[in-house]
């Protein structure tokens, strides 16, 4: 018999059934999924939401400005605020970006006047103005300094000149910049934003997520695109990942390699991933899962990578305090490890899901690997997809030297599936007028 849900659980689930922008108890309600929530919590100078199509990127722009207005008013700045909204073309601005802004602010204290012919959104009570422009001509973005900040929608379609213009407009006041976009190939968005973030620059934050991270995005549409598109293109458009056309499964893996001294005092939950082997290597990756800036970060600090060795010998090098996620296809070996005193759980063995989770961690700086994990680093450098004709469904990665890759995938996928459903969510509320 199924266990009855508590009233508290029912209330939480009912809350999250509300649609985007519904009025609940007289307030406009915006329930955020995990990726959106991380963006709204960011206080970095440059924050980028890089996600698959339909993942809920553009809708964050108006909420981000509402947050910025509240912050500025709290500092005593109650009039004359200046911000900017930029889309790659006038068509995108008029059909998507501007309507989203106007609709979100409707029936709230931020409802103002949208002067489409002038490209201006005027806040009420002389609070300030948003300039709505397209990036077709970067020279049109020049002139004057912003204090409220700038929102760049679909920034991956903009030129590097447009990005430089925004840096100049926000420089004097160090006004923050929000980027919402799907990724593209190695353009300025990757080299001047994502790579700086992955290298640890304190002024940048990038969060990536797939289309289906948005609970309202249809799973069958995601699956249809996956069947019909080349792997690299699908990952960019639907998984929100910058991809390499050369076929690497983890094209940015090198950016998460760190010196062990950088993490010598990390205190977190001990976890591990296991891929069994005898003639092929047995691989056990040991890591710690800890919280940094409100996000879960996985640090892989040790590996056991050896063939033709008994389970009892492997166990000598494995942390008995850890929870180990192991290849579920070998229940006998799982039992042997349990008999040796290890806490072992059959892992999630969904290859595509696991690969996506690893890439999302890499591209949002939530995976770090010690330089001591030589086998893991070596395998990542050669872990590739086979050649695939354009338009043909992509195959699985090439088998062979992928034992550490499997262990990492088991661990990442299992962590993702174990997350509480609502813990990472938050809601943004804009009070309704009247």
Q: Per residue in 113-166, pLDDT tens?
A: 999 999 999 999 999 999 999 987 666 787 789 999 999 999 988 888 889 899
Q: Say how far apart CA 373 and CA 408 lie, in whole Å.
A: 12
Q: Is the pLDDT of residue 13 over 60?
A: no
What's the pLDDT band for 16 if we cut at 50, 70, 90?
A: very low
CATH architecture of residue range(s) 253-418: 2-Layer Sandwich (3.30)
In this structure, the strands spanning 323-326 and 269-275 are parallel
Q: Say how far apart CA 32 and CA 183 lie, in whole Å.
A: 21
Q: Which residues in the chain are classed under CATH 3.40.50.300?
A: 15-243
Distances 41 to 178, 206, 208, 232, 293 between C-alpha atoms, Å: 12, 12, 15, 30, 9
Q: According to the model, what pLDDT value does residue 368 have?
A: 94
Two structure tokens written together for 30: 């915006």
Q: According to the model, what pLDDT value does residue 112 have?
A: 96
Averaged pLDDT for residues 309-331: 96
Q: Which residues in the chain are classed under CATH 3.30.420.280?
A: 253-418
What class is the 15-243 domain? alpha beta
Q: Say how far apart CA 277 and CA 311 lie, in whole Å.
A: 10
- Between 391 and 100, whose confidence is greater? 100
Over residues 208-237, the pLDDT tens digits come to 999 999 999 999 999 999 988 777 778 888
Q: Say how far apart CA 29 and CA 251 lie, in whole Å.
A: 38
Q: Is the pLDDT of residue 431 over 70?
A: no
pTM, two decimals, is 0.68
Q: According to the model, what pLDDT value does residue 400 have?
A: 75
């Amino acid at each position: 018999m199924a266990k009855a849900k508590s009233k508290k659980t029912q209330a939480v689930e009912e809350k999250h059934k509300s649609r985007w922008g519904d009025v609940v108890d007289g307030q406009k309600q915006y329930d955020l999924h995990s990726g959106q929530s991380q963006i709204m919590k960011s206080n970095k100078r440059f924050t980028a939401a890089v996600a698959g199509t339909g993942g809920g990127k553009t809708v964050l722009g108006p909420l981000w400005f509402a947050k910025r207005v509240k912050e500025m008013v709290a500092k005593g700045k109650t009039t004359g605020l200046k911000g900017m909204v930029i889309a790659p073309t006038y068509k995108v601005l008029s059909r998507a970006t501007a309507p989203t802004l106007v609709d979100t602010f409707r029936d709230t204290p931020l409802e103002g006047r949208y002067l489409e012919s002038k490209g201006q959104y005027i806040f009420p009570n002389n609070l300030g103005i948003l300039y709505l422009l397209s990036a077709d001509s970067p020279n049109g973005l020049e002139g004057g300094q912003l204090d409220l900040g700038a929102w760049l929608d679909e920034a991956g379609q903009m030129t590097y000149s447009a990005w430089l213009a925004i840096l100049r407009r926000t420089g004097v006041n160090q006004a923050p910049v929000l980027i919402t976009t799907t990724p593209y190939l190695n353009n300025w968005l990757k080299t001047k934003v994502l790579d700086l973030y992955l290298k640890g620059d304190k002024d940048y934050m990038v969060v990536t997520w797939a289309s289906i991270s948005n609970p309202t995005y249809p799973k069958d549409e995601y699956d249809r695109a996956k069947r019909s598109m080349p792997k690299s293109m699908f990952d960019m458009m639907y998984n929100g990942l910058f991809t390499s056309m050369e076929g690497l499964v983890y094209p940015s893996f090198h950016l998460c390699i760190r010196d062990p001294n950088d993490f010598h005092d990390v205190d977190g939950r001990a976890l591990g991933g296991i891929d069994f082997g005898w003639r092929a290597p047995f691989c056990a990756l040991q890591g710690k899962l800890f919280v940094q800036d409100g996000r879960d970060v996985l640090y892989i600090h040790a590996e056991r990578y050896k063939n033709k060795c008994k389970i009892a010998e492997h166990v000598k090098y494995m942390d008995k305090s850890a929870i180990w996620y192991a290849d579920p296809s070998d229940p006998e070996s799982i039992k042997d490890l349990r008999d040796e005193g290890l806490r072992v759980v059959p892992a999630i063995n969904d290859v595509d899901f696991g690969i996506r989770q690893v890439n999302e961690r890499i591209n949002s700086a939530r995976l770090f690997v010690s330089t001591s994990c030589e086998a893991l680093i070596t395998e990542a450098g050669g872990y590739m997809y086979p050649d695939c004709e354009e338009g043909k469904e992509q195959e699985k990665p090439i088998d062979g030297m992928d034992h550490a890759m499997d262990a990492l995938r088991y661990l990442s996928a299992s962590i993702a599936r174990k997350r509480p459903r609502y813990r990472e969510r938050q809601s943004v509320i804009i009070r309704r007028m009247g």
